[in-house]
Amino acid sequence: MSADSPAAVIVLAAGEGTRMKSRTLKVLHELGGRAMLGHVLAAARELGPRRIVAVVGHRREQAVAYLGEHAPDVEPVVQEVQGGTGHAVRMALEQTGSLDGTVVVTNGDHPLLRGETLAALVRTHETAGNAVTVLTTEMPDATGYGRMIRAADGSVEAIVEHKDATEAQRAVTEINVGMYAFDGTLLEDALKRVTTDNAGGEEYLTDVVAILRGDGHRAGAHLVADWAETQGVNDRVQLAQARRQLNDRILEAHMRAGVTIIDPASTWIDVDVTAEPDAVVHPGTQLHGRTHLEAGASVGPNCTLTDTRVGADASVVNAVCVEAEIGPEASVGPFAYLRPGTRLSRKGKIGTYVETKNAEIGEGTKVPHLTYVGDAEIGDHSNIGASSVFVNYDGVRKHRSVIGSHVKVGSDNMIVAPVTVGDGAYTAAGSVIIQDVPPGAMAVARARQRNVEGWVERKRPGTPAAEAAEAARRAAEGGDDPA
């Protein structure tokens, strides 16, 4: 926070958002892994303001809970009755008290607005010595928006709503975005004079601009070049459009930083995901939360990773990974599911149709296929045979198994926790391991095979199996060829 930081940023987030048709408060709908309100607050923080205030109203309990969990530095102000934007800002100032310095007012449903844009608004405001500076943009189609009418010196002469505009004014394409930088002291005084003498019976923040101009103060504007950045979200269609625009912005930043994204159209990356140069993201991949890709990591196609770290030069293919750590040069997939607590070490392998949970898997160890590993610790350079299951739940509690290094677990094994298999040990295929296995031992835990001769012919006479068995027996006795 610098000495010239804004006194406050006030975020307006009290609207009902009926067009979303949702039980969730509009500003809490997510894009890029963060609520709309969260994006706005992140932009506000880039200004280093002395205070951030969020005005909440409809479904305030949701908003207050969100702020308590994700933004405890933000002060919630309740607007009991939604009486317009001017009323909302007045409620905020009544709680915060007088604010000496620049006060920025922004909206909680504008998730694409960048912090650098708000910073430029503040610079324009303070450099020009304006009483108020309006954030504006030029729209290809300005229908329905308030037009910015400029004076000869470039200052703001008026903001004219579309319905009240003349034909000449409607030809103006510069519109009011609905965000402002104010002199805090002048704002407080002007808000006391805003009336509800309008069709909506509300206090409008645009009236403050007219009041300040009437007092002889200068009203300026800061024009945003990219109009798409200034768009709000009012329904699910606009939310999807904003999500696409934000994702394109995130992907471009990663690619310019040295990450290869094979097909941006099918790749989705959250705002808090990080990646190092030479990481590669293949088509159909989604990276969520605080996932991180180290240099040379290759993810995809068709992967969904959440809060997962992928080591240098590791490969993850057709996999779902949640809160997992994948070591350098390791291999995962295809069709693997790594659940929370999975730690795969360097050059380890988790293969096809393998599920892991709360499992530490050592360097060079392989779990190639058709296996469940839960609540386990496996040492280095061991191999877990196909169709094996770590039986970790007794119906009441979870238990942990420990497999040593250089262990060969046979196919179709049941490792019944708690149990330890020592270094260098082997277990036979089809075994149910319920006791510890000493280092270097061979564990065989299965019944001896018994063949009941002639059972099919006696018990299933007339079936194709019985006929095939009879033909084979005759051929073996030197009779007819079974073919």
Q: Cis ω on the peptide bond leading into residue 334 (within 30° of 0)?
A: yes
Q: Which residue has the higher pLDDT, 83 or 35?
A: 35
Residue 249 lies in a domain: no
Measured CA to CA, the distance from residue 44 to residue 121 in angstroms comes to 12
pLDDT computed for residue 199 by the predictor: 78
Residue 237 lies in a domain: no
State yes or no: pLDDT of 56 exceeds 50.
yes
| Three-state secondary structure of the chain | CCCCCCCEEEEEECCCCHHHCCCCCHHHCEECCEEHHHHHHHHHHCCCCCCEEEEEECEHHHHHHHHHHHCCCCEEEECCCCCCHHHHHHHHHHHHCCCCCEEEEEECCCCCCCHHHHHHHHHHHHHHCCCEEEEEEECCCCCCCCEEEECCCCCEEEEECHHHCCHHHHCCCEEEEEEEEEEHHHHHHHHCCCCCCCCCCCCCCHHHHHHHHHCCCCEEEEEECCHHHHCCCCCHHHHHHHHHHHHHHHHHHHHHCCCEECCHHHCEECCCCEECCCCEECCCCEEECCCEECCCCEECCCCEEECCEECCCCEECCEEEECCEECCCCEECCCEEECCCCEECCCCEEEEEEEEEEEEECCCCEEEEEEEEEEEEECCCCEECCCCEEECECCCCECCEEECCCCEECCCCEEECCEEECCCCEECCCCEECCCECCCCEECCCCCCCCCCCHHHHHCCCCHHHHHHHHHHHHHCCCCCCC
Q: Which residues are annotated as a binding site for UDP-N-acetyl-alpha-D-glucosamine?
A: 12-15, 26, 79, 84-85, 146, 161, 176, 234, 339, 357, 372, 383
pLDDT computed for residue 1 by the predictor: 45
Same domain membership, residue 113 and residue 93: yes
Q: For 430-483, what is each residue's pLDDT tens digit?
A: 999 999 999 999 999 999 999 999 999 999 999 999 999 999 999 998 865 555
pLDDT computed for residue 462 by the predictor: 96
Same domain membership, residue 221 and residue 369: no
Residue 174 lies in a domain: yes
State yes or no: pLDDT of 329 exceeds 70.
yes
Same domain membership, residue 162 and residue 93: yes
- In this structure, are residues 183 and 131 in contact, taking their beta carbons and an 8 Å threshold? yes
Phi, psi torsion values for 361, nearest 5 degrees: -120, 120
> In terms of Cα–Cα distance, which of 135, 226, 118 is closest to 176?
135
Residue 236 lies in a domain: no
pLDDT computed for residue 479 by the predictor: 60
pLDDT computed for residue 281 by the predictor: 98
> Which tokens belong to 40?
């706005």
pLDDT computed for residue 483 by the predictor: 53
Give the number of domains in the chain.
3
Same domain membership, residue 173 and residue 284: no
Same domain membership, residue 123 and residue 33: yes
Residue of 369, 381, 399, 406 marked active site: 369
Domain of residue 299, residue span: 258-443
Q: Identify any residues that bridge with 145 across adjacent strands, giving them in sequence order.
A: none
Same domain membership, residue 322 and residue 213: no
pLDDT computed for residue 79 by the predictor: 93
Same domain membership, residue 467 and residue 433: no
Same domain membership, residue 112 and residue 72: yes
pLDDT computed for residue 306 by the predictor: 98
In the chain, what percentage of residues exceed pLDDT 90? 90
Q: For 6-20, what is each residue's pLDDT tens digit?
A: 999 999 999 888 999
The domain that holds 176 is classified in CATH as: 3.90.550.10
pLDDT computed for residue 257 by the predictor: 98
State yes or no: pLDDT of 145 exceeds 80.
yes
> In terms of Cα–Cα distance, which of 138, 116, 106, 124 is closest to 219?
124
Residue 251 lies in a domain: no
pLDDT computed for residue 421 by the predictor: 98
Measured CA to CA, the distance from residue 441 to residue 456 in angstroms comes to 38
> Which tokens belong to 149?
């009418």
Same domain membership, residue 478 and residue 438: no
Q: For 383-404, what is each residue's pLDDT tens digit?
A: 999 999 999 999 999 999 999 9
Amino acid sitting at position 163: K
Q: What is the mean pLDDT of the chain?
A: 95
pLDDT computed for residue 161 by the predictor: 86
Residue 364 lies in a domain: yes
State yes or no: pLDDT of 93 exceeds 90.
yes
State yes or no: pLDDT of 160 exceeds 70.
yes
Same domain membership, residue 467 and residue 437: no
In sequence order, the 6+-apart residues with CB closer than 8 A to the CB of 102 are: 6, 7, 122, 125, 126, 181, 182, 183, 184
Same domain membership, residue 153 and residue 182: yes
Q: For 330-370, what is each residue's pLDDT tens digit?
A: 999 999 999 999 999 999 999 999 999 999 999 999 999 99
Neighbours of 451 (CB within 10 A): 5
Residue 240 lies in a domain: no
State yes or no: pLDDT of 3 exceeds 80.
no
Q: What is the mean pLDDT of residues 135-142?
A: 93
Q: Which residue has the higher pLDDT, 29 or 5?
A: 29
Q: Which residues are annotated as a binding site?
A: 12-15, 26, 79, 84-85, 109, 146, 161, 176, 234, 339, 357, 372, 383, 386, 392-393, 411, 429, 446
The domain that holds 422 is classified in CATH as: 2.160.10.10
Residue 253 lies in a domain: no
Q: What is the mean pLDDT of residues 120-129?
A: 96
Q: Which residues are annotated as a binding site for acetyl-CoA?
A: 386, 392-393, 411, 429, 446
Instruction: Examine the residue annotation and report whether 369 is marked as an active-site residue of this protein.
Output: yes
Same domain membership, residue 164 and residue 285: no
How far the first Cα of the chain sits from its last, in Å, is 89
Q: Cis ω on the peptide bond leading into residue 301 (within 30° of 0)?
A: yes
